[in-house]
Amino acid sequence: MKELVTVRDVLPFLSRLTEEAGQVLLSYFSGSFRIERKGGDETPIDIVTDADRVSEDLILKAIAREFPDHDVLAEETPPALTGSRWLWIVDPLDGTVNFAHGLPLFCISIGLMHDNVLVAGMVYDPLRRESFFALRGEGAFLDGNRIEVSQADRLDRSLVATGFPYDRGTAPDNNVKEFASVVTRVQGIRRAGSAALDLAYVAAGRLDGFWELKLKPWDMAAGMILVEEAGGRVSDRTGSPTDVYTYCVVATNGKIHDPLLKLLI
Ligand code: IPD
Ligand code: CA
Ligand code: CA
């Protein structure tokens, strides 16, 4: 059994792992795959493909091989938590709807928590071969080069992103009201379809801010630590510090955080 000696050890492990899982996604993306509806008639737009499952299988087996005493929370597998101090949080394919339509915008997202604190995260975009990595206290990096959030300090000069929950057709709290209040106040707004990439792009200064309701831990874990380590701010919609279980995540360069929050409350 291999012990994780320091959190720093996760970088080579995650680099190899996301590269391999990325190859899996690319081979399905350029070939064919089955698409299943996850929620039946309740949420018919929530789908899963062979690529999600095979990528997750590869990632979970590698974590179990390297760190057999660690816990894992992954999107496509029911959790079997043992109370380990280490928790890996895995989205094997973030942007499944894009993927299923042939839209080239998706990624793999893996976060690592120790004693409930995010300590590392990687978001890997296999199409652009971009690897976003953050380590608690050490900074955020894109392909090994340090990244920082943007300097935009006004909403009307900001490019922000959001997304809509899968139950948006039936649930009243579907982000449409929030979208309407922000869209007229910012320079631009995007709904790219991958929350993990949205967060990585806030960390890299490509977006100035992002918010979304009802995300799951695997959508946010890696992206949250990326934004924090890139000098940004992550909170819930009241402005309080938050965690991967939050109902509404708001992540910005810090400078536009309060003005954005005002529009979301
Ligand atoms: C989804 C994406 C999307 C967000 C959804 C997520 P998935 O993840 O991150 O951008 O709006 O809420 O569920 O299903 O593609 O892994
Ligand atoms: Ca996701
Ligand atoms: Ca997913």
CATH top-level class of 7-146: alpha beta
Does residue 43 surpass a pLDDT of 80?
no
3-class SS of residue 194: coil
pLDDT-wise least confident of 3-7, 66-70, 159-163? 3-7
Q: Which atom of ligand 1 is nearest to the CA of 194?
A: 10
83-116 residue pLDDT tens:
999 999 999 999 999 999 999 999 999 999 999 9
Mutate which of 37, 43, 89, 94 for ligand 1 pocket (most atoms within 8 A of beta carbon): 94
Distance 194 CA to ligand 1 centre (A): 5
Which residue in the block uniquely carries the two structure tokens 């990585």? 200
Q: How many other CB atoms sit within 10 Å of the CB of residue 100? A: 18
Nearest to 123 by CA among 105, 138, 111, 139: 111
| pLDDT average, residue stretch 55-82 | 96
| pLDDT average, residue stretch 253-264 | 98
pTM: 0.96
| pLDDT average, residue stretch 136-165 | 97
Distance 195 CA to ligand 1 centre (A): 6
Distance 203 CA to ligand 1 centre (A): 18
Output the CA torsion sign for 103, 107, 108, 114: negative
Does residue 141 surpass a pLDDT of 50?
yes
| pLDDT average, residue stretch 212-230 | 98
Distance 93 CA to ligand 2 centre (A): 7
| pLDDT average, residue stretch 236-254 | 97
Does residue 161 surpass a pLDDT of 90?
yes
Q: For ligand 1, is residue 47 a contact (CB within 6 Å)? A: no
Give ranges for CATH 3.40.190.80 in the chain: 155-264
Give ranges for CATH 3.30.540.10 in the chain: 7-146
> What band does 68 get if pLDDT is binned at 50, 70 and 90?
very high
Chain-wide mean pLDDT for the chain?
95
| pLDDT average, residue stretch 132-150 | 98
| pLDDT average, residue stretch 134-158 | 98
Please say whether the structural domain 155-264 has been given the CATH code 3.40.50.150.
no
Nearest to 237 by CA among 165, 178, 158: 178
Of the bound ligands, which one is closest to the alpha carbon of residue 47? 1
Q: For ligand 1, is residue 165 a contact (CB within 6 Å)? A: yes
Q: How far apart are CA 214 and CA 167, in angstroms?
A: 10
Which of residues 120 and 37 earns the better pLDDT score? 120
Which residue in the block uniquely carries the two structure tokens 């995300």? 215
pLDDT of residue 1: 41
Residue nearest to atom 11 of ligand 1 (CA): 163
Distance 197 CA to ligand 2 centre (A): 10
pLDDT of residue 169: 87
Residues 6+ apart with CB under 8 A from 21: 55, 58, 59, 92, 108, 124, 126
Does residue 3 surpass a pLDDT of 90?
no
Of the bound ligands, which one is closest to the alpha carbon of residue 74? 3
> What band does 176 get if pLDDT is binned at 50, 70 and 90?
very high
Does residue 2 surpass a pLDDT of 60?
no
Which residue in the block uniquely carries the two structure tokens 């959001």? 162
Of the bound ligands, which one is closest to the alpha carbon of residue 166? 1
Distance 256 CA to ligand 3 centre (A): 29
